[in-house]
Structure 1
Amino acid sequence: MTNPVRMKTFDVTIPVLNEEPTLARQVEQLHAFLKTHFPTEGQWQIVIADNGSTDRTLEIAQELSNRIPEVTFVKVPRRGVGLALKTSWGQSKADIVGYMDLDLATDLPHFLEAYRAIAEEDYDVVYASRLHPKSKVVNRPFKREVASRVFNLLLKTYLGVGFSDGMCGFKWLKREVYPELHEAGAQNDGWFFSTELLTTAEWLNKRIYELPVKWTDDVSSSRVEILPLAKRYINSMIELKKRRP
């Protein structure tokens, strides 16, 4: 008789910056989904990582934490998505850590696939890919699509990586492998940290699962400016390559 797979605990981190209008609604939607599919008490929590908000975001996060047992928050000392994730994961005790964007652009049922890939199939890292042939991308502006493909081509050419989408905000990993990835170069305080996770996982020969997804672009909530971001990413690629083991 085979032993049943042990239930894995997990933390879902949501990095936020000035998200007062939508924070409560989106977190409540995510909470309802997770509560339906993972009803066991104490198995999981949602971590709101506030990285420098100047509106009522932190206050709303505190209110949600007081009202909903599975919601907590961390206050990050300065802005930066990578810094927010490192702060959250650095204090986590869960088996699985990961993050998704507040706009829930990746359809929530994909989380069930990501969980199974790590908890049952023993993958080390799971990432969503909008560029997988089976993915369905909705409402994405043409210039963002082109920028994404160019960026990922640069990654493949310059860093020699094989993953298809380094920028998608939906990634999960065994918490036990995170210190290895950090040591190997996943250290950026900004958005590039998300790409560093996959790059260092490849360098260390971790088991990586590519997840095709349905992904809906929320153009109204985006603050991304492509050219300044591209310059930062190219500089970050150069710095990351210097750290290759």
Structure 2
Amino acid sequence: MRADLWLRGFHPAPEAPVRMVIFPHAGGSASYFFTLSRLLAPEVEVFVVQYPGRQDRRREPVRENVEILAKELVEELHPRDSKPTVFFGHSLGATVAFEVARRLEQAGVGPAALWASARCAPSDHRTHDIHLLDDEGIIAELRRLSGTDTSLLDDKELLDTLMPAIRGDYKAAETYVYTPGPPLTCPVVGFVGDDDSRVREADLLGWRDLTESGFELVHMPGGHFYPTDHPALTAEEFRTRLGSMDGLGTAEV
């Protein structure tokens, strides 16, 4: 696994015993998780997925379909070594991570674990049709979730640049159709912010039916974007779990 167009390694840690791949939320970019990457290094080697249509990939078309995005990512995330790897997907990213994980498992090289954050199970998919709203409606949703700095939401010129990626990602999330298949063989951990105004504990419980290796639900302080509400606490929770997962040090990925 290497840092390239799709994967950003902000804090190289090739000697770390475990790797985490982060899949961002709708409208999110790799740099959103820069602080979390810094806090996890050097104990964890972190790569963050950079979706097309934003930042240095802004000239590329946004992928408005989760399956298309997952198929492209499978090749990038096909392991090139034996280091155990955990997928962490936040919101839309949890669905993308699941689709990538199930494809890699079919090839016999799935992740050591899937951590699904702030997202209902793919099999319980629901839509709020946010991608059909006008720009002001989407901005109102972002304000409600507090996922973007208010100053950015007040910058019309910047928003005009960001809106295609935000709308396209919401479309991908909301038009996703789950295809039934074998359960994952890796364990799944669900994370939910205690003050999340969109996703509740009950929404995460469906993930337990998508794995044959166990499910655990974890409450985090903060809202929908708890990783940036409380980055140090999030990093500590992740670091502790990565160090205590049974068999993680010998898992094949």
Q: TM-score, normalised by structure 1?
A: 0.34
